[in-house]
């Protein structure tokens, strides 16, 4: 069912892409759009990780440059039964993270410097486990291809506005049709992204919580990231809103029209689901999510400044 749903959603985006091409250039425009969509999918399949990581200026780290982060990823990947992914760091104040790659053997996990500074080790473990769940569920390729096609649809629609709007109704969409296309085509792509994102986030929350063994660590992290995302702008994400659904929490500030339709489920609903899972798993109680005063003083990377260093599961 997962592969069937993926195929249907990608087919829908491709059909929307072809429809925009048809409005701009008729049957030949639709065929050109189909060729472009096929080439885009093929290119994205082999280059999805490099494209997105480059877009956000992420640089790879290893055990020499970031031993604690890489060690944590390795430990969680082992628990998840996954190959060790490449680990990247983004010089970004907003706490956030995403995973990318065409399959588990070619996966990458990227976190921001803001995430490293603001989260405890336990919360960071929850976030990384969530991203590894995306890898295990084979979400990463789907989400990158979706972002690529959605971005192409938006650009093609704007192209049609400039060039199609000056044609008469026999040869192009006309000015009214061009305006509608510029609005409705990206909106349609966004709705497909929303349909994908909501189900995959709940699934990744559930599996990630099971990987780390403590659902409330992830719940606490989600609340902290949600609060910071509305206060600390991520300018790279604002310039590339089609990739917003790849992050664990929507990175858009909400000041523009791109955030009118959220690509993520409500954080409180995700936290409620994690609370329920914690009860089912009998997880030990964790500090109340969002209550920063309940946490002990932290070091520069979320480690408690009291007592010796602990592993991610106590």
The span from the first CA to the last CA of the chain, in angstroms, equals: 37
Please tell me whether residue 163 adopts helix, strand or coil conformation: helix
Helix or strand holding residue 110 (H, E): strand 108-112
Instruction: State yes or no: is 105 an active-site residue.
Output: no
Residues 14 and 18: their CA atoms lie apart, in Å, by: 6
> In degrees rounded to 5, what are phi and psi of residue 260?
-65, -35
Residues 63 and 172: their CA atoms lie apart, in Å, by: 57
Q: Interior CA angle at 186 toward 45 and 240, to 5°?
A: 60
Select which of 123, 131, 201, 226 is catalytic.
131
Q: Which residues contact 142 (CB under 8 A, 6 or more apart)?
A: 6, 9, 10, 196, 200
The residues annotated with a catalytic role in the active site are 131
């Amino acid at each position: 069912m997962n592969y069937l749903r993926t195929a249907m959603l990608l087919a829908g985006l491709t059909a929307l892409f072809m429809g925009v091409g048809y409005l701009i250039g008729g049957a030949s425009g639709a065929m050109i759009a189909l060729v472009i969509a096929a080439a885009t999918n093929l290119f994205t399949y082999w280059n999805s990780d490099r494209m997105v990581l480059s877009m956000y200026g992420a640089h790879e780290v290893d055990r020499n440059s970031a031993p604690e982060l890489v060690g944590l990823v390795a430990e969680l990947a082992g628990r998840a039964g996954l190959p060790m992914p490449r680990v990247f760091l983004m010089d970004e104040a907003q706490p956030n993270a995403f995973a990318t790659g065409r399959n588990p053997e070619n996966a990458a996990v990227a976190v921001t410097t803001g995430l490293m500074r603001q989260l405890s080790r336990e919360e960071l473990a929850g976030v990384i486990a969530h991203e590894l769940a995306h890898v295990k569920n084979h979400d990463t390729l789907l989400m990158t291809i979706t972002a690529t096609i959605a971005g192409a649809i938006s650009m093609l629609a704007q192209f049609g506005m400039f060039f199609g709007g000056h044609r008469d109704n026999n040869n192009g969409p006309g000015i009214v049709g061009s305006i509608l296309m510029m609005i409705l085509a990206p909106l349609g792509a966004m709705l497909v992204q929303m349909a994908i994102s909501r189900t995959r986030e709940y699934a990744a929350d559930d599996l990630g919580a099971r990987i780390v063994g403590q659902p409330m660590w992830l719940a606490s992290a989600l609340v902290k990231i949600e609060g910071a995302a509305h206060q600390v702008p991520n300018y790279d994400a604002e310039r590339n809103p089609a990739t917003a659904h790849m992050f664990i929490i929507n990175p858009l500030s909400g000041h523009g029209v791109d955030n009118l339709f959220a690509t993520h489920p409500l954080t409180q609903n995700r936290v409620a689901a994690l609370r329920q899972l914690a009860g089912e798993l009998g997880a030990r109680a964790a500090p109340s999510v969002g209550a920063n005063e309940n946490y002990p003083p932290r070091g520069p990377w979320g480690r408690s400044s009291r007592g010796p260093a602990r592993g991610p599961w106590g």
